[in-house]
Amino acid sequence: MAKEKLSVVKVGGNVIEDKDALASFLEGFSKLEGKKILVHGGGKRATHIASKLGIESNMINGRRVTDAETLEVITMVYGGLVNKNIVAQLQGLNTDAIGLTGADINSIASKKRPVKDIDYGFVGDVKKVNYKSIDKLMQADFTPVFCAITHDENGQLFNTNADTIASELAIGLSNLYKVELVYCFEKNGVLMEVDDDDSVIDFMDSGTYEILKHKGVFHDGMLPKLENCYHAISEGVSRVFIGNPTIISNKEQKFTTLFL
């Protein structure tokens, strides 16, 4: 029997910071047919609020170093302010959303990132997705909305990259569904020229990706996103798309399709 389709959609922080762009995206997301999961970031909002509280944000290679004080801010902003505003807007669009961290229903368990050259503090790397528990919510017609927080199953919360959370959720739920993973951010897709929004690479297999990576085509922020994409495809996710938020509702829009 063919698997039912599931859309796992991740929306980036730049969209979240733009009230109109977020409203438009959520309207498109609410109209997606079939079962769906939303994963969101919120790093820029966290940085802004941390600054108001006199807490300096320390970023290394695009990753946030998360000490105990920063973790408190992230928990408030990701799990509270951003998540609940998104959930409330989706309710207004007749989507019965439920906001979650990885700790809720033990949905995403992580382990602390090991210290090598850099100690990132309370940052977690995903080790397990309890897809059966998440599926119980979807079978009850709820739409999960995940923020970028996981836990270690022993009471410790972790800051975890939202792109990674989306990828790992897609992999876990591919045991039950035919999963399409969609990354929505401010660009039109993966670009050949970072300053040219029209230089979208329409299709890219893993071989082309390795060649272009070796040539230095991708900027630092895109590389970890693409690594998550190809990891998902190699682990059973059916298709991965990258583009601006309109791709979930406008099939004429340019975007990048990734495959092995």
Pick out the residues of the known binding site for substrate. 42-43, 64, 159
- Annotate 85-102 with three-state secondary structure: HHHHHHHHCCCCEEEECC
Beta bridge partners of 203: 257
Q: Computed from CA positions of residues 171, 167, 225, 58, in that sequence, does the dihedral angle turn out positive or negative? A: negative
Pairing verdict, β 97-100 and 239-243: unpaired
Q: Known binding site: residues?
A: 42-43, 64, 159
Size (the chain), residues: 260
Beta carbons within 8 Å of 167's beta carbon, 6+ residues apart: 181, 228, 229, 231, 232, 237
Pairing verdict, β 239-243 and 178-184: parallel
Nearest CA to 45 out of 70, 16, 65, 68 is that of: 16
Count of other CB atoms within 10 angstroms of residue 173: 24
